[in-house]
Amino acid sequence: MDKIDILSLDLNELEDILAANGEKKFRAKQIFQWLHVKRVFDFDKMTDISVQLRQRLKEIFCINGLFTQKKLESCMDNTVKYLYRLSDGNFVETVLMEYSYGHSICVSTQVGCKMGCRFCASAIAGFVRSLEPSEILMQIYETERDAGVHVSGVVLMGIGEPLDNFDNVVKFLSLLSHKDGNNLSLRHVSLSTCGIVPRIYDLAELKLGLTLSVSLHCPDDKGRSEIMPVNRTYHIDSLIQACRDYIDKTGRRVTFEYAVIDGVNSSDNDADKLADLLRGINCHVNLIPVNKVKERNYHTARSGVADFAKRLGKRGINATVRRTLGSDIEAACGQLRRDAAEHDNLNGGAVK
């Protein structure tokens, strides 16, 4: 029988498995805290558990660790990008960012991505599999351990589409915020989606308190379907309707991500259409100068983003230009990859 991935279990599940194995239920909380508070990932080091039970735990459970394959530090800011090897040999990337208020981490939710957005490096090598809750969580635990920092914000904006791995992502969120475990308020978490409409409704029902970010990138169906294939299934009107529902149900403002790309979505007309589309919605627009992906030829003129923001502002739409961090180590939005070989091609940053 396969061993059970203990780091993907919530406290109730752990209690039930221990009870089914003839153990006392209260042991579950002790073990849960060893894992999620003390971050001890070796049953032999759980010193208040009897030697017999530790042995039994080793027979029943496995601890799904990940290993640092490579670490790159930006020369421009304090951003650090980790390439983590998973227990099956696949890779994911994780980015640690430093802000004035503390550290924020960008985690991956899948190995590769199915969504095929034209401007995004994560889509280039295709999709392998979704991550387990433990594999998303361990990106945080391992990065905190390595960097010696406490992460105060989490963004689900790394490789993969979080709403295409809905159940595991929701489980990850419940573990991340568990009061007997890591206990991070989901107010400090943002989940970014390319717009899988039915799952936005599902997420709204859960009322988790996190910030929903929607990667919009184009104000009309024709243009959006060209750069984001998901739009051929879920058109903009249905996406906006789902966002309105999310805002109604959760009381939270939605963020729209918009990577400004010269000659694709950056004209005055695009800004006007975007303003019309979002008028009256409780939202914020995050403009991103498109980050370089070597296989693609997309650019943004710096002045283009500022002009776009100004034009939106004049039409009553609240927009900010997102600061790009870690672009010299390909750690910026849309630059993460599932492929270890790609890392050998990087020039910038210090390779550890």
Does 319 contact ligand SAH by CB under 6 A?
no
Count residues binding ligand SAH (CB under 6 A): 18
CA atoms within 13 A on the CB side of 223: 16
Are the C-beta atoms of 159 and 110 separated by less than 8 Å?
yes
- Residues 339/64, Cβ–Cβ less than 8 Å: no
Least distance from ligand SAH to the Cβ atom of residue 254, Å:
12
- The beta-strand segments (E) located in the chain are 4-5, 61-62, 67-73, 80-85, 91-99, 102-106, 110-112, 127-130, 151-156, 189-193, 211-215, 254-260, 283-289, 319-321, 350-351
Chain residues 257-276 in contact with ligand SAH, contact rule CB under 6 A: 257, 259
Q: Is 194 in the site for ligand SAH (CB under 6 A)?
A: yes
Q: Which residues partner with 285 through β-bridges?
A: 256, 319
Q: Does 161 bind ligand SAH (CB under 6 A)?
A: yes
In the set 288, 305, 309, 331, which binds ligand SAH (CB under 6 A)?
288
CA atoms within 13 Å, Cβ hemisphere of 106: 25
* Main-chain phi, psi angles of 324, to 5 degrees: -90, 125
Minimal distance, residue 213 CB to ligand SAH, in Å: 6
The site map against ligand SAH for 212-231 (x = CB under 6 A) is: ---x----------------
The yes or no reply on residue 308 touching ligand SAH (CB under 6 A) is no
Which burial class, exposed, middle or buried, applies to 294 when counting CB atoms under 10 A from its CB (0-12, 13-18, 19+)?
Answer: exposed
Nearest approach, Cβ of residue 158 and ligand SAH (Å): 7
Give the strand pairing for 151-156 and 127-130.
unpaired
Asked if 120 touches ligand SAH (CB under 6 A), the answer is: yes
Which residue, 8 or 335, has its beta carbon nearer to ligand SAH?
Answer: 335
Q: In the window 323-342, what residues touch ligand SAH (CB under 6 A)?
A: 333-334
Q: Tell me if 110 contacts ligand SAH by CB under 6 A.
A: no
Q: Among 139, 177, 182, 193, which residue interacts with ligand SAH (rule: CB under 6 A)?
A: 193
DSSP 204: H
Active site residues: 93, 333
DSSP string, 94-120: EEEEEETTEEEEE---EEE-SS--TT-
Residue nearest to ligand SAH (CB): 334
Residues within the interface to ligand SAH (CB under 6 A): 115, 117, 119-120, 157, 161, 192-194, 215, 257, 259, 288, 290-291, 293, 333-334
